[in-house]
Amino acid sequence: MIVSLELIREHIHADSDDVSNQLLTQYYNSAVGAIETYCHRSLVSDTDETAIASSEETVPAEVKQFLLVTIADLYEKRERISDKTLSTYHNHLLDHYILY
């Protein structure tokens, strides 16, 4: 994982009694998918030259922040997601990684 479950828990101010690893992993995977969809390229690949990073260690800080903020947004709105919209202010962290 590009950001650890421990860092995600710290970011959302939750401990293991509040939320399961399985749920956080689901949010993480959704956030990775959002990055790849928004930027029109893979997040990490050592064979794809258009990927944002060649390894998890080289993922830019803005992308890591996007992951954390997106996961926190999903976590905050987990109970009644249909009544709330997800924030999109942080999408601009990814703007210079978009392939047009």
Please indicate whether residue 81 or residue 16 has the higher confidence score (pLDDT). 16
Q: CB atoms < 10 A from the CB of 26, how many? A: 13
**How much is the pLDDT for 17?**
84
pLDDT tens digit sequence for 56-98: 999 999 999 999 999 999 998 877 655 556 566 676 778 888 8
Cα–Cα dist 95/74, whole Å: 21
Which has the closest alpha carbon to 2: 72, 58, 84, 80? 58
C-alpha distances (whole Å) from 23 to each of 6, 54, 75, 93 are 13, 27, 9, 24
The mean pLDDT of 21-47, rounded to a whole number, is 96
